[in-house]
Chain A
Amino acid sequence: MKARQFLVAASCVLVFLAGYAPGPAPGSEEIPEIVSLDGWDEAMTALRRSHWVLRGYYPENRKDSAGRTVGDDLDQYVLPENIVAHLEALRIQAQAQRDAGDQKGLEKTIGEARVILDGQMKQVFAVGSYWQALTLIELQRAAISPFAANATEADRAALAAFAGQIDQRLRESRASLLGSTDEGAMTKSLASMHSVVVDNAIHYGKQRGKWIAEQVKYDSDPNAAELARTAACGAPMRAEGESARARIKGGPDLEPFYPEDAKQEMFEGVVTVRADVDAQGCVQKVRISRTSGDPRLDAAALDWALQASMVPALIDGTPQASQLSFNVRFTLN
């Protein structure tokens, strides 16, 4: 999985945030073709529904650093009162034109409404994208906070400075994205907002890994997650050459183990796993030796490790049970 690929994907699915999205986001809703009054009404309904759907994603009173809620943004950018009044006036005019058989006039009015409605649909997408970006940034910040507490003053200051830059960049991309209806300008603003999110995720991923390496000792957590084998092993592995420990010979493809939500939230990490391997090379039990800082990645690493194939330890020509530790790395590039 390449970061670049993800970025492309993210620009399409940005609002499909598993943790918050019970259904398709309004921005991705099929926009009806507005060629008739019916299509017009459907578009209005879709726009009105977007208020409820987007608000439903976020806890009530969830505010950004400027003190706004998603509802505030929607009220400001999607169907504000002047637009509603304008559209209603056009709607009455269109109805009259249709009743009067004024086809030409009707098409003109519908055309005018279509421009407005299309612009409003884009605003739904813009508001959704901003709140999505904000959420992704905050998730990274929340995940690092347990390690920031024990970090050096200098490291913390550096991270705060980075967060300030991210906030500034997010404000700038928000300002150019929201309220604009120019498609080209919007695409550019959206791309810059995505790069803010990605830069943030990469930086926080690295910082988190660094602090974990500094702060967390191997096998220091008595409550670390573990997983024991429940199914029988396959054919025994033949030992090859004297070795005090088992060795990893291979395992299933790691990609399918990478949790989808962690991927979409751009969480990367290295998990250290300790495995009990018996004399047949069968992995009996796996345990987190050092966390990645993300329980989803930790759990995925244990799942994978239990399916890894091992060559057993061989001491004085006799296969032996042994323990070994290894890293499972989840990375987007």
Chain B
Amino acid sequence: MLLSTVAPANGGPLAPELQARIRSATFEVVLRKATSDPLSYERALPIELIPYQERIDKFHSVGTAFAIGNDRYVSAAHVMLLGVGSQFGAPMLRDSAGKVFALARVHAYSAHEDYMVFSLAEPASATTIQAGETPGVGEPVFAVGNALGEGIVIRDGLLTSLTPEPQEGRWNWLRFSAAASPGNSGGPLLDAGGRAVGIVIAANAVENLNYALPMQQVLKAGEGTASFDMRLPFSIPIVWQPAVVSITDSFKLPLDWEEFSRRYLELDLEHYRANRQALMASDPPFPGGASAKGLAIASRPKSPSLMAQDEERRWISQGGHSKESAELTGEGSVKLREFRNIGLFELEPGKQVGQPVVGETSPLLNPLLKVLNVQRPVGTQMVRVTSAGPSVTQDTVKDGHGRLWRRGAWPLGFTDVHILTMSLNTPRGEVGMVRIVPSRLRAVGEDEMSFLADFFQTPMQGNASQWKAFLERTPEGALPDGSVKMIFSAGKPFAFQGPSLTASIDPQLIEVNDESRLTLETLLVGDAGRARLDVTGIRLREQDEDDGTGLVLLRQPRPAPDSGKDMTQRWSQMLSRTKDFDGVERPEQGTDRYWFRTSIPAPPADASNWDPKILYEMWYEVDGMPLPREMKSRRSLLEKSIQVTESPR
């Protein structure tokens, strides 16, 4: 193992009594392990594979701190932050005898310089480490710390250089060649006299040139303030171009740990929201300006999607790429797609459909775990998590369109992360978003998901009996503002009344039975510079299949002049009811299916000024053997049955 006594390359070793003094002034930073585990796994955990020391330890060892006297202790900010918002509680210090000390108050904090000065609830150390001046380049230095959770070790090297911090060169990082490991963070960097000249901050991944913050920076700043002054990249999933944001803020110290954490998380969330707002306001803002072009692009996702910018900054529906899918008992299924780190899921519970699922949070995660592939590392093996306990968040939130979302948050226990979900009820099950975030970012993560909810679009699909159950538990109907009224029930003619379309379909066109399938496409539409949710597509099938007798109605907005030849050509065919939209009945090659396609409303007799803002595309298909004249009469019946009520101009 690592040597705890060292022979410096230049100058002598630290005297043994000095080493003892240093050890007693240096501590591990620890977090208390979860005492119970609500998770279930695919098999019994092979805990014998975990090294003995780690297995019996009731704490996670996460870094190093040291006493600087006068009941003051110092560590790296990024080490101490592991206890902010953590499911494991506040960080604590542990001495070499294994005694654990609780934090009292935070006295100084700097996010950019990466340190924290704090006091303990009871004195922990008889000795302290004195601060020293930065030694000359080439002088011997010693990195002291809790390397890899093995207890306090001292390793030697040289001060190799001074590197200006990258943003403004406000201070110089001490670069040194003494070995440093992840657990070293927060530990002292000593000179040959055993004085602390720096705080170990980061190991260099590729060579042994590690970073420490000069102790003089800490002393110079004094106490009384938590300060933040940094530039960071900032992005949100629906905006293409990340921004670089400056976070400059401060609050007064001292505060006790709980108060510090609360203040820290508040500030984090405030900055996140301000940065998000600024990013959304950057060109092109949604849904106006140049982005209107994107809204006109006829993308019709068949699965949940987000309205998001593509690489050309157009706002279009994006469903991401398919990640995983799994069967559930009772012919159910769960499908997961991923769009820029957001999981978009569709859950069909199968036979249990129709049971009210809103309000029961815990059953949601278990089927999702079938596609999320969450694994717990145990020694050298990975063990898959199969179920979780109850959610720690169980509430509902309304999005900007009035949709009621159910939120869930599950801590994983073995690691400090939460699985966050937001889900919507649909006739066939649930759809929504899922992501995994560090516990400290839970509030930001939940806030971002609530924000993204406004941009979430989903097809709502179900057969007649599923829709019946859905509408019974959702009195406002298919759209949350109650603007859609419909009848979709076996033995009755299908009737639909929405903000932009009214339809009443005679049973001789489509005869609704229990197995008939209705899909409502709900998408954001641009309307007078605002985005609103509307039913932009209706797909009605006599049977619960992708083909066969059916009717498809799709809202098509007028494309912008620069939308490309395909779009404008298609639009002009719709306007004039020619070519693809001529309404002429045709056989589908190689099948006994017959169809026609046209646009509604019909162009007026004098079409010279006919320039509507939207049209509906209409397909009708018959499985069977109608005569052409029968198809014609169905077409004229259909045209009488459907009215576009959205102002066409």
Contacts and interface: CB of A to CB of B under 8 A. Distances in A.
B367 to A, nearest CB: 45
A55 B594 CA distance: 13
Interface stretch (B60-68, B372-380, B624-632): B624-632
B585 to A, nearest CB: 9
Interface string B584-600: 10010000101000000
Contacts of A75: 627-629
Contacts of A56: 587
A52 B629 contact: no
Most chain B beta-carbon neighbours within 10 Å: one of A44, A48, A74, A84: A48
A55 B628 contact: yes
A56 B594 CA distance: 13
B455 to A, nearest CB: 45
Contacts of B592: 49
A52 B584 contact: no
B584 A51 contact: no
A253 interface: no
Contacts of B626: 48
A48 B587 contact: no
B625 A49 contact: yes
A48 B584 contact: no
Contact of A60 (B584, B594, B629): B584
Nearest to B628: A51
Contacts of B628: 51-52, 55, 71, 74-75
Interface string A40-84: 000011001101100110001000000000010011000100001
A45 B587 CA distance: 14
B598 to A, nearest CB: 15
A118 to B, nearest CB: 19
A52 B626 CA distance: 9
Contacts of B625: 44-45, 48-49
Contacts of B587: 52, 56
Interface string B611-634: 000000000000001111100000
Nearest to B625: A48
A45 B624 CA distance: 9
B8 to A, nearest CB: 90
Nearest to B587: A52
Interface in A77-94: 79, 84
Interface of B is mostly: loop
Contacts of B629: 75
Contacts of A52: 587, 594, 628
Contacts of B594: 52
Chain B, interface size category, equals under 10
A71 B629 CA distance: 9
A196 B594 CA distance: 36
B193 to A, nearest CB: 98
Contacts of A49: 592, 625
B342 to A, nearest CB: 48
Contacts of A55: 628
B584 A79 contact: no
B508 to A, nearest CB: 14
A49 B628 CA distance: 10
B182 to A, nearest CB: 72
A264 B629 CA distance: 32
B283 to A, nearest CB: 49
Interface in B565-612: 584, 587, 592, 594
A55 B587 CA distance: 10
Interface in B621-649: 625-629
Contacts of A44: 625
Interface string A15-47: 000000000000000000000000000001100
A112 to B, nearest CB: 22
Contacts of A51: 627-628
Interface in A141-176: none
A202 to B, nearest CB: 37
A111 B438 CA distance: 80
Most chain A beta-carbon neighbours within 10 Å: one of B592, B594, B625: B625
Nearest to A55: B628
Nearest to A44: B625
A170 B288 CA distance: 66
B494 to A, nearest CB: 25
A44 B630 CA distance: 15
Most chain A beta-carbon neighbours within 10 Å: one of B594, B626, B628: B628
A86 to B, nearest CB: 15
Nearest to A45: B625
B383 to A, nearest CB: 60
B593 to A, nearest CB: 11
Nearest to B594: A52
Most chain A beta-carbon neighbours within 10 Å: one of B584, B587, B594: B587
A322 to B, nearest CB: 55
Interface string A219-246: 0000000000000000000000000000
A248 to B, nearest CB: 49
Contacts of A48: 625-627
A74 B626 CA distance: 13
A168 to B, nearest CB: 30
A35 B592 CA distance: 24
Interface string B252-264: 0000000000000
A48 B629 CA distance: 11
Most chain B beta-carbon neighbours within 10 Å: one of A52, A55, A75, A79: A52
A60 B586 CA distance: 11
Contacts of A74: 628
Nearest to A74: B628
Interface in A107-127: none
A46 B2 CA distance: 89
Most chain A beta-carbon neighbours within 10 Å: one of B587, B625, B627, B629: B627
A75 to B, nearest CB: 5
A56 B625 CA distance: 15
A45 B625 CA distance: 6
A311 to B, nearest CB: 55
A49 B626 CA distance: 8
A51 B629 CA distance: 10
A56 B588 CA distance: 11
A56 B587 CA distance: 9
A104 B165 CA distance: 104
Interface string B298-312: 000000000000000
A79 B625 CA distance: 13
Interface in A251-269: none
A79 B592 CA distance: 18
A48 B594 CA distance: 12
A57 to B, nearest CB: 12
A119 to B, nearest CB: 17
A101 B629 CA distance: 36
A84 B629 CA distance: 12
Nearest to B629: A75
Nearest to B585: A52
A52 B584 CA distance: 12
9 contacts: A51-B627, A52-B587, A55-B628, A60-B584, A71-B628, A75-B627, A75-B628, A79-B627, A84-B627
Q: Would you list the 8 A-B pairs with minimal beta carbon distance, nearest first?
A: A48-B625, A52-B587, A45-B625, A75-B629, A51-B627, A51-B628, A48-B627, A71-B628
Given A52-B594, A52-B628, A75-B629, 11 more contacts: A48-B625, A48-B626, A48-B627, A49-B592, A49-B625, A51-B628, A52-B587, A56-B587, A71-B628, A75-B628, A79-B627
